[in-house]
Amino acid sequence: MAAAPERESWRPEVIPGRLVVLRRHRAENLRAFTRWYADHDVARLTRYQVSPLSNDEVQRFFYARIMGSEFLAMAIHVRDTDRLIGTCAFSQLDGDHGSTLYHITVGERDAWGKGYGTEATELMLAHAFTRLALHRVALTVFEFNSRAIRSYEKCGFVVEGRARQAIFRDGQFWDEIHMSILADEWETRVRRS
């Protein structure tokens, strides 16, 4: 595995794409987070708890994790309009083992299903496997979030396991699916495309 990158090189200001631009979060993005995480549909797809986050919980989460130094969190902006539509992040960055956990939320519902989340994920994977020299990126997703699962599979993630019936939602139990992509799998996909 390559040597760990310098601290500042792993926290870029901007990662440009074709549909979206990823930018470092700014304090004023808290307003959007408060709106997104108060939405019952967003909470349903992203949280174990049924209820949305309170304003205080969103604020603590935003400043501790999104603006903190332990996460590599990026704001997702539509390239053509610069509209803020979501957030994506790496947590539990482990340089010794070359791994991280990936998280993404497209909070603006009218931006769902347009490929923005898929491209944001592809940009973050390119950053993980080139600039960060990681070996593995993993994530978890609820079984009922079929749109997200399709997006992750399109980006090359594969199912590696399940926490069976880990969440009760919509009157039934669902699995929490564990997915990952390895550096060599990502490199093969890039060469093919």
Q: Is the pTM of this model over 0.85?
A: yes
Closest by Cα among 107, 110, 132 to 1 = 132
In a domain, 123, yes or no: yes
> Would 72 be classed as within a structural domain?
yes
The CATH number linked to 174 is: 3.40.630.30
Number of separate domains in the chain: 1
User: At 153, which helix (H) or strand (E)?
Assistant: helix 146-154
Q: What is the pLDDT along the chain (193 residues), one digit of tens a residue?
A: 444 445 456 789 999 999 999 999 999 999 999 999 888 888 888 888 877 788 898 899 899 989 988 889 999 999 999 999 999 999 999 889 999 999 999 999 999 999 999 999 999 999 999 999 999 999 999 999 999 999 999 999 999 999 999 999 999 999 999 999 999 999 999 999 8
User: In whole angstroms, what is the distance from residue 181 CA to residue 159 CA?
Assistant: 9
In a domain, 105, yes or no: yes
Question: Which domain covers residue 84, as residue numbers?
Answer: 8-192
Cα separation, 137 vs 181, in Å, equals 6
Is 135 in a helix, a strand, or coil? Answer: coil
Tell me if 2 is assigned to some domain. no
Residue 56 lies inside a defined structural domain of this protein: yes
Specify if 1 maps to a domain. Answer: no
Sequence-ordered list of residues with C-beta below 8 angstroms from that of 21, at least 6 positions apart, any chain: 14, 15, 77, 79, 82
| Helices 116-126 and 146-154, axial angle in degrees (round to 10) | 40
Q: How far is CA 62 from CA 6, 31, 66, 92, 132, in A?
A: 24, 10, 5, 16, 23
Backbone angles phi, psi at 52, to 5 degrees: -65, 165
